[in-house]
Amino acid sequence: MFESDAEKKRAELIITLLAKLYVVLELSVDACPVCHKALAHDLECPIVLAWSLLSEQQQRDARNAIRALALSIGTDETLADPMVH
């Protein structure tokens, strides 16, 4: 399928980036920029296909990395204080 290691690494990078986009979209209320579905994806959406190629451990790692990044920049609303002060 791939002619060189460089092509294989590039494909792995694309899959990883699309899978991380899946996590970002989980945290967002916006529709998917690829398949335009809100809070879900078309079964043929490249983002969902990339996500499905990851193992469960890779999915957990991707979620943890994106959530840690969101928390570090203060945009992770799942951890926000729901009380008005």
* Segment 5-55, tens digit of pLDDT: 888 888 888 888 888 888 888 777 788 888 888 767 777 888 888 888 889
The pLDDT of residue 85: 44
Question: Looking at the predicted structure, is the pLDDT value of residue 76 above 70?
Answer: no
Contact 67, 33 (CB under 8 A): no
Bridge partners for 38 per DSSP: 31
Contact 23, 63 (CB under 8 A): yes
Whole-structure pTM value: 0.62
Q: For the purposes of burial, counting CB atoms within 10 Å of the CB of 44, is it exposed (0-12), middle (13-18) or buried (19 or more)?
A: exposed
Which residues of 1-85 form beta strands (DSSP E)?
none
